[in-house]
Amino acid sequence: DAGVTQSPTHLIKTRGQQVTLRCSPKSGHDTVSWYQQALGQGPQFIFQYYEEEERQRGNFPDRFSGHQFPNYSSELNVNALLLGDSALYLCASSLEITAGNEQFFGPGTRLTVL
């Protein structure tokens, strides 16, 4: 049973550029959440997608946007990159119908902005 997968593993961009990160949820899961983890910090919630719609958002600017596809996979887009966007970007998947909605994380995409 494949777990959550993310691509690419690493990415280096320069300030002002745009980036797209991808996530495939665990088999059978229908909800995808994205988190940003700066070095030495806990993950911070960016947003969550369910039924192809963003239904909850954390305290991140509009430069951060996303999409969920009919097969439940998801993309995170970041425009006008800043040095402070350098972080590990984590995708987590869960199944909406389960009472606990346990979230399982992928390995992350490490983004470096120069």
Pick the binder of other proteins from 17, 79, 101, 112 (CB under 8 A). Answer: 101
Q: Based on the shown chain and the rule CB under 8 A, indicate whether residue 70 belongs to the binding site for other proteins.
A: no
Which residues make Cβ contacts (< 8 Å) with residue 109, sequence separation at least 6?
Answer: 6, 7, 8, 9, 10, 11, 21, 88, 89
List of residues 6+ apart from 54 with CB closer than 8 A? 47, 48, 66
Residue 68 interacting with other proteins (CB under 8 A): no
Note whether 105 binds other proteins by CB under 8 A.
yes
Residues of this chain that interact with other proteins (CB under 8 A) are: 4, 6, 31, 33, 35, 40-45, 48, 55-56, 58, 88, 90, 92, 94, 96, 100-108, 110
